[in-house]
Structure formats: structure tokens, C-alpha cells
């Protein structure tokens, strides 16, 4: 694969002088246009040591306006990074719409290094590459431009470059024992890179292999590719805007009729299977509450000591009793050990990034419980029903959510998801009661009545959500919530059981 990047491509000083001002001016111009766009640009530099990765990143900062560029080079992960899933630190740094991020030694770096050093097997390596491909797909599906540059040098050329660096007092530091050690493993390195590039070159996020020997050549090549990548995305975006109005109308009508059809087809759904008459009398409840809260408290302390994090998702109808259930959970815990994250409308920093960003940012350090009161499932519930997400977006979300949760679980996090269910009659009863009771009145708003009117649409959405995202690693727990006592104990017990299974005794 790399043969074409070992032939000694060059640009003469004159060629460079002619092309440079054009490329710079055009890069500046597309950067300007990008400001108003609704997508970010993510540029990845990987490749052979001394092939010009950081020089090129510096040059781009010089050519363009560095205030709108985020440059990040990754070293060894910090202890905060290590306590979260591998991709957390990259999510954390994702640029907002309209900006360009230059990432060096990012998500490909340690998978390749680990493979070269034989710390991982080929199949472990493949799993990591699949994870990366899914991550990049989530970004590009969301509109991000992802450009990946593999800066290459042949083995002989790298040696020559190292020797030259060693003579230059300004660059001597860049050649270490480590560099030469790597040089001796050049063939292994190239083999791993070859595999990585093949497995992660997609139409949306292709690799560009750039011969790095000649600084002028590689700079112009990268600059041009970046300009073209942004330009194409801008054209695509403006074409989409023009087409949107027409398409919206059609899709509205279609989805309307579709949902009627769906309603007829799905007279049965998973929520109908629940035995909604289940209750607990107050006395049994008191005993059970004490017991389960005690269990949970003990188990969470063990989990905390073992560095096991827990994420608990609460979804459910308005007035289903999510808040009450959450308070029974947190009431059993040390206040230092948990965090309740209420998901409302996104802030503007969240709005200009991938919709999963706002959940990644709340992942806690090891050993804590994070409770999400509503969650990433908003995408396939309220956003679907209210039309805030297009059909394509919420359909895509099923896969993205699955992938997100796989990463949580693979990282050792215990993930528990509750859908608290109540019947439509029970909801009405509770709404009325809330209106009557002074200190509960704030809990009931116009939105609640509006959502209630769309009950049937929500039933379809919930049914599909459960069907699509109840995976083996993260199954949904449906909680019969007409009786609050019953629901609370079921939540506590499920959570404690989950912890018990996970903890190493």
C-alpha cells in the first residue's frame, strides 16, 4: 500500500512558491465560510515518525486563523482518562460546528503501537479498529468532515531523516533511543498500519497517504486535500439546505401515513405484556425498602472500592415516578458516590456537537454511580415523536446507542436501564392529583398534556426502542409502575442484583 509513498515525490522551490499563495488564500477562504456551517472538520495525522505530522499541523495553524483551530496531541492517558472508556478523551475534545480540529497521535496511535509491540493479538487489534470505524461513522453521519492523513516515509528515508535531525540542534531532541528501537521494527509497524488503513478507509472518512520526505510537497498536498474536503462539504451542505424544504414536506406526509399503518400493525407491543396490577402493601414495602437500600449501600461501597462504575438510566412516561424511584436509590448511597444528571434541552455548547457528546461528558471517574434522569434515548423517544430528529437520524441512533453502550460495558461499567411504565388512566389520575396539590403543581406543565395527547406515538417509539436496544450487555428493565411501592422496590432490587453479579468477592 505504501509503495507509492516511497518514490521521492518533490516540489521544486518554484512550484511551491507558485502554489503556496493560492492554497493559503483558498484555505483561509474556506475556513471563513466554515464559520457559519453546521458541521465540524476533524483532521487526523498519523504515520511514520519524522514524516512531518506535527510540522504540517503547525503549518496549517500558520496558514489559517489559529483561533478557530483546535490542535491536540495525545500523550499517555491521564488517570482520569484511564478511568473511562478509551474514546472518552477524544469525545471530550470534539470541536463544535464551524471549527477545525487537528488531532495528532490520537485514536489510532495506541492500537497500532500495541499491535507492533505484540501486546495485542490480530483479533484484538481488529476489535479496536472496528470500534474506531464505528466512532468515525457516528461523526460523519452527523455531518462532520473527517480527513485522515497517513504521513509516510520509507525505512531508508526515515533513517536518513533521523540522522539529519541528530545533526540539527533544534531537532536533536526528536530522535531518542525509542526512535531507533521503533526503526528496527519498521516492517512490523508498516504491516500494522496497512491493516489499520485498510479496515478504516471508508468513503466518508478515507485515508490520504502522503509521502512525507519533501516538506514542500507534503504541505501542499495536505493543504489542498483539506481545502477540497471542506469545500465539498460546504457545497453538499448548501445543496441540502436548498433541497430540504421540498423533502421535509414529502417526508412529513410519508411518516404520517407510515405511523398510521404502524399503529394498525402493532396492536400488540411489549408494554401490553406487563402485569400492571402488581402492588406492594405499605408494610411489606417498608421492610423491603430497608432491606434493599441496605444491600445497595453495602454493594456500592464494595463496587467503589473495586473501581466499578455504574450508570443507571431512567426513562418512562411523565408522572411515572422516575423522580421518586431515583430518590430511593440515592437515599441509599453516600452523597459523594453518585451524581444525578437531569437531561433537558441541550445547552448551546451541546447543540453544536454530536448528540452523544453531552452524555460522554458526564461519564464519571471510576467507582461512582451516575443516574441519568432521561438520557440518550431522548433521540428515539421525544425527538422522534416530536420530529426534532429526522427519521434517518433516529434510525441511525439505534446503532449509535448500541455502540455507545457496548463501549461502556466493555470498559467494565455496569449499565442498568429502566423504563418505568404506567397506564394511560393512571397517568391521568396523577396529573389531576398534581394539579390539586399545591407543592406538586410545579411538576405539571402544558408539555405534559401535549405529550399525553401523543401517547400512541410514544407507545410505538418505546416498543421499537426496547426491541432495538435491549441488547445482551444492556437489557431494558421494564418496571410496572402503577403502584409506586412496587416500582421502587423493583428498581432497588434490580440495581443491587446487578451490582452483586458484577462485584468480585
Residue 29 Cβ, how far from a copy of itself at the closest point, in Å? 7
Q: Rule CB under 8 A: is residue 268 a binding residue for a copy of itself?
A: no
Residue 345: strand, helix, or coil: coil
Q: Rule CB under 8 A: is residue 337 a binding residue for a copy of itself?
A: yes
Cβ neighbour number for residue 280 with a 10 Å cutoff: 19
Q: Rule CB under 8 A: is residue 22 a binding residue for a copy of itself?
A: no
Q: Rule CB under 8 A: is residue 113 a binding residue for a copy of itself?
A: no
Among the listed residues 54, 11, 61, 46, the one whose alpha carbon sits nearest the alpha carbon of residue 213: 11
As a whole number of angstroms, the distance between CA 5 and CA 208 comes to: 10
Residue 267 Cβ, how far from a copy of itself at the closest point, in Å? 36
* Residue with Cβ nearer a copy of itself (61 or 470): 61
Residue 353 vs residues 86, 140, 361: alpha-carbon distances, Å:
19, 12, 12
Q: Which of 23, 34, 326, 389 lies at the binding interface for a copy of itself (CB under 8 A)?
A: 326
Report how many residues bind a copy of itself under the rule CB under 8 A: 53
Q: Rule CB under 8 A: is residue 72 a binding residue for a copy of itself?
A: yes
Return the beta strands (E) in 22-93 as ranges. Answer: 41-47, 69-73
* Residue with Cβ nearer a copy of itself (256 or 294): 294
Q: Which of 4, 25, 243, 253 lies at the binding interface for a copy of itself (CB under 8 A)?
A: 25
Structural contact between residues 493 and 332, judged by C-beta atoms closer than 8 angstroms: no
Among the listed residues 419, 418, 443, 439, the one whose alpha carbon sits nearest the alpha carbon of residue 430: 443
Q: Which of 8, 294, 307, 387 lies at the binding interface for a copy of itself (CB under 8 A)?
A: 294
Q: Which of 1, 10, 54, 460 lies at the binding interface for a copy of itself (CB under 8 A)?
A: 54
Structural contact between residues 140 and 400, judged by C-beta atoms closer than 8 angstroms: no
- Of the chain, the end-to-end C-alpha distance in Å amounts to 50
User: 309-343 as b/e, with b when 16 or more CB fall inside 10 Å?
Assistant: bbbbbbbbbbbbbbeebbebbbebbeeebbebbeb
Q: Which of 8, 12, 80, 287 lies at the binding interface for a copy of itself (CB under 8 A)?
A: 80
Q: Residue 476 contacts by C-beta under 8 Å, 6 or more apart in sequence?
A: 417, 418, 419, 465, 466, 469, 470
- Name the one range near a copy of itself by CB under 8 A: 237-245, 338-346, 415-423, 493-501: 338-346
Residue 182 Cβ, how far from a copy of itself at the closest point, in Å? 18
Q: Rule CB under 8 A: is residue 187 a binding residue for a copy of itself?
A: no
**Phi and psi angles of residue 56, each rounded to the nearest 5 degrees, phi first:** -65, -40
Q: Rule CB under 8 A: is residue 65 a binding residue for a copy of itself?
A: yes
- For residue 338, give the DSSP letter: E
Q: Which of 3, 13, 14, 78 lies at the binding interface for a copy of itself (CB under 8 A)?
A: 78
Q: Rule CB under 8 A: is residue 170 a binding residue for a copy of itself?
A: yes
* Residue with Cβ nearer a copy of itself (8 or 331): 331
- For residue 503, give the DSSP letter: S
Grid look-up 434541552 returns: 345
* Residue with Cβ nearer a copy of itself (113 or 403): 113
- Name the one range near a copy of itself by CB under 8 A: 99-107, 178-186, 412-420, 465-473: 99-107
Sign of CA dihedral 86, 173, 192, 144: positive
Among residue numbers 114 through 153, which ones bind a copy of itself (CB under 8 A)?
none
Q: Rule CB under 8 A: is residue 36 a binding residue for a copy of itself?
A: no
Among residue numbers 354 through 383, which ones bind a copy of itself (CB under 8 A)?
365, 373
Q: Rule CB under 8 A: is residue 264 a binding residue for a copy of itself?
A: no
Residue 494 Cβ, how far from a copy of itself at the closest point, in Å? 19
Sign of CA dihedral 379, 204, 201, 91: negative
Which residues in this chain contact a copy of itself in the complex, by CB under 8 A? Answer: 25, 28-29, 32, 54, 57-58, 61-62, 65-73, 75, 78-80, 102, 104-105, 169-170, 173, 294, 297-298, 301, 323, 326-327, 330-331, 333-340, 342, 347-349, 365, 373, 439, 442
Amino acid at each position: 500500500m505504501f509503495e507509492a509513498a516511497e518514490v521521492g515525490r518533490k516540489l521544486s522551490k518554484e512550484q511551491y512558491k507558485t502554489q503556496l499563495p493560492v492554497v493559503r488564500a483558498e484555505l483561509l477562504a474556506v475556513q471563513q465560510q466554515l464559520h457559519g456551517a453546521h458541521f465540524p472538520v476533524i483532521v487526523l495525522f498519523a504515520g511514520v515518525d519524522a514524516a512531518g505530522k506535527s510540522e504540517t499541523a503547525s503549518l496549517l495553524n500558520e496558514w489559517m486563523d489559529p483561533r478557530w483551530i483546535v490542535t491536540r496531541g495525545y500523550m499517555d492517558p491521564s488517570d482520569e482518562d484511564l478511568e473511562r472508556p478509551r474514546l472518552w478523551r477524544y469525545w471530550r475534545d470534539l470541536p463544535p460546528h464551524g471549527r477545525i480540529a487537528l488531532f495528532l497521535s490520537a485514536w489510532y496511535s495506541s492500537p497500532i503501537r500495541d499491535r507492533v509491540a505484540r501486546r495485542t493479538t490480530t483479533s484484538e487489534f481488529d476489535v479496536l479498529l472496528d470500534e474506531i470505524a464505528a466512532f468515525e461513522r457516528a461523526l460523519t453521519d452527523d455531518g462532520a468532515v473527517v480527513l485522515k492523513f497517513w504521513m509516510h516515509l520509507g525505512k531508508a528515508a526515515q533513517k536518513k531523516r533521523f540522522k539529519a535531525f541528530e545533526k540539527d540542534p533544534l531537532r536533536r531532541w526528536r530522535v531518542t533511543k525509542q526512535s531507533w528501537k521503533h526503526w528496527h521494527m519498521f516492517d512490523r509497524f508498516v504491516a500494522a498500519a496497512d491493516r489499520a488503513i485498510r479496515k478504516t478507509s471508508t468513503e466518508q472518512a478515507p485515508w490520504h497517504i502522503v509521502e512525507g520526505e519533501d516538506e514542500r510537497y507534503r504541505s501542499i498536498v495536505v493543504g489542498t486535500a483539506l481545502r477540497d474536503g471542506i469545500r465539498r462539504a460546504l457545497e453538499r451542505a448548501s445543496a441540502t439546505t436548498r433541497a430540504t424544504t421540498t423533502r421535509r414536506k414529502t417526508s412529513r406526509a410519508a411518516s404520517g401515513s407510515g405511523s398510521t399503518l404502524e399503529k394498525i400493525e402493532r396492536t400488540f407491543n411489549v408494554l401490553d405484556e406487563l402485569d400492571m396490577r402488581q402492588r406492594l402493601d405499605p408494610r411489606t414495602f417498608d421492610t423491603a425498602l430497608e432491606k434493599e437500600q441496605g444491600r445497595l449501600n453495602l454493594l456500592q461501597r464494595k463496587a467503589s472500592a473495586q473501581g466499578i462504575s455504574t450508570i443507571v438510566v431512567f426513562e418512562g412516561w411523565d408522572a411515572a415516578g422516575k423522580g421518586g424511584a431515583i430518590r430511593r436509590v440515592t437515599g441509599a448511597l453516600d452523597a459523594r458516590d453518585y451524581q444525578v444528571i437531569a437531561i433537558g434541552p441541550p445547552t448551546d455548547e451541546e447543540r453544536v456537537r454530536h448528540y452523544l457528546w453531552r452524555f460522554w461528558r458526564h461519564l464519571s471517574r471510576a467507582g461512582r454511580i451516575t443516574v441519568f434522569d432521561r438520557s440518550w434515548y431522548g433521540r428515539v423517544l421525544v425527538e422522534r415523536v416530536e420530529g426534532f430528529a429526522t427519521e434517518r437520524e433516529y434510525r441511525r441512533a439505534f446503532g449509535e446507542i448500541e455502540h455507545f453502550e457496548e463501549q461502556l460495558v466493555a470498559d467494565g461499567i455496569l449499565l442498568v436501564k429502566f423504563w418505568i411504565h404506567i397506564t394511560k388512566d393512571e397517568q391521568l389520575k396523577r396529573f389531576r392529583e398534581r394539579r390539586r396539590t399545591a407543592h406538586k403543581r410545579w411538576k405539571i406543565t402544558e408539555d405534559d398534556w401535549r405529550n399525553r395527547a401523543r401517547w400512541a406515538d410514544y407507545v410505538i417509539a418505546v416498543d421499537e426502542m426496547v426491541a432495538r436496544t435491549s441488547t445482551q450487555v444492556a437489557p431494558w428493565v421494564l418496571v410496572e409502575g402503577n403502584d409506586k411501592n412496587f416500582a421502587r422496590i423493583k428498581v432497588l432490587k434490580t440495581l443491587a442484583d446487578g451490582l452483586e453479579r458484577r462485584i468480585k468477592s
